[in-house]
Amino acid sequence: KDFTVDEYMIYEAKLLGASAVLLICSILSEKQIKEYIAVCDKLGLSALVEAHDEQEVNAAIRSGARIIGVNNRNLKDFSVDTDNSARLRELIPQDILFVSESGVKDAEDVKRLREFGADAVLIGEALMKAPDKKAKLAELRSML
So where are the chain's domains?
7-141
The pTM of the whole model exceeds 0.75: yes
> Hey, what CATH topology would domain 7-141 get?
TIM Barrel (3.20.20)
Q: With the C-alpha atoms ordered 33, 39, 40, 42, is the resulting torsion angle positive or negative?
A: positive
Supply angle C-alpha 71, 95, 63, rounded to 5.
Answer: 60
Q: What is the pLDDT of residues 113-133, one digit of tens each?
A: 999 899 999 998 899 999 999
Q: What is the pLDDT of residues 24-49, one digit of tens each?
A: 999 999 999 999 999 999 999 999 99
